[in-house]
Amino acid sequence: AQSVAQPEDQVNVAEGNPLTVKCTYSVSGNPYLFWYVQYPNRGLQFLLKYITGDNLVKGSYGFEAEFNKSQTSFHLKKPSALVSDSALYFCAVRDGGFQKLVFGTGTRLLVSP
């Protein structure tokens, strides 16, 4: 079965510094990977996806993610963090031939002023 792991429950970073939120995956076949962000009392918002092509994927709000097949990782990055980036971030993988997403447990990002 497909799965993703987010090894950090929380990531703390100062505003203006680069941020990385980690995700590793386990799939059979080609991975379809996604990042979503969830703000308090709101649904998940799509940030970016990797289907095929360039290993560096650019998404919304200045976020990008790097797909690394040899390390089975899909880390989310941003060059300069904003306080407003503080939220819960979920990595997800498509489950095989099924059109459903399998989510990680989430990483809380806290950006301090």
Partner 1 sequence: EAGVVQSPRYKIIEKKQPVAFWCNPISGHNTLYWYLQNLGQGPELLIRYENEEAVDDSQLPKDRFSAERLKGVDSTLKIQPAELGDSAVYLCASSLQGLGAYNEQFFGPGTRLTVL
Q: Is 32 in the site for partner 1 (CB under 8 A)?
A: yes
Residue range at the interface with partner 1 (CB under 8 A); choices 14-22, 38-46, 68-76, 78-86: 38-46
Structure tokens at 110: 């806290």
Q: Which of 43, 53, 70, 113 binds partner 1 (CB under 8 A)?
A: 43
Report the DSSP pairing between strands 107-112 and 10-14: parallel
The DSSP secondary-structure symbol of 42 reads S
* Under rule CB under 8 A, residue 41 binds partner 1: yes
Residue count at the site for partner 1 (CB under 8 A)?
A: 22
In the list 42, 53, 54, 70, the residue contacting partner 1 (rule: CB under 8 A) is 42
Query: What does 48-111 look like in DSSP terms, one character per residue?
Result: EEESSS-SEEE-GGG-EEEEETTTTEEEEEESS--GGG-EEEEEEEE-TTSS-EEE---EEEEE
User: Residues interacting with partner 1, by CB under 8 A?
Assistant: 32, 34, 36, 41-46, 49, 51, 90, 92, 94, 98-101, 103-106
